[in-house]
Amino acid sequence: MAEDMETKIKNYKTAPFDSRFPNQNQTRNCWQNYLDFHRCQKAMTAKGGDISVCEWYQRVYQSLCPTSWVTDWDEQRAEGTFPGKI
């Protein structure tokens, strides 16, 4: 099972269909995967686990989100003004 997931991550090209976001506009999907990545990273760091399991979310948001959004969100997180709950 883990090998299958590693193979999927290695062969990853672009974000697969997500039934939570069926419409053409993928803005919400971008936002949710950005949050999920940082939540996963925070949880795994707190548990002392391997954060590489969070890599999937990072690849998806990097595929979907404009770079300028990600840069802005990273700056907001650094400044403590990010509006999302991580």
Amino acid 24: pLDDT: 78
Q: What is the mean pLDDT of the chain?
A: 86
pLDDT tens digits, one per residue of 16-54: 777 777 777 889 989 999 999 999 999 999 999 888 889
Q: What angle do CA 60, 8, 39 make, to 5 degrees?
A: 40
Amino acid 32: pLDDT: 94
CB atoms within 10 A of CB 38: 20
Domains in the chain, CATH or no CATH each: 26-85 (1.10.10.140)
Predicted confidence band at 73 (pLDDT cuts at 50, 70, 90)? Answer: very high
Q: What does the block give as tokens for 81? A: 């003004």
Mean pLDDT of 65-86: 95
Question: Reduced to 3 states, what is the DSSP secondary structure of residue 62?
Answer: helix
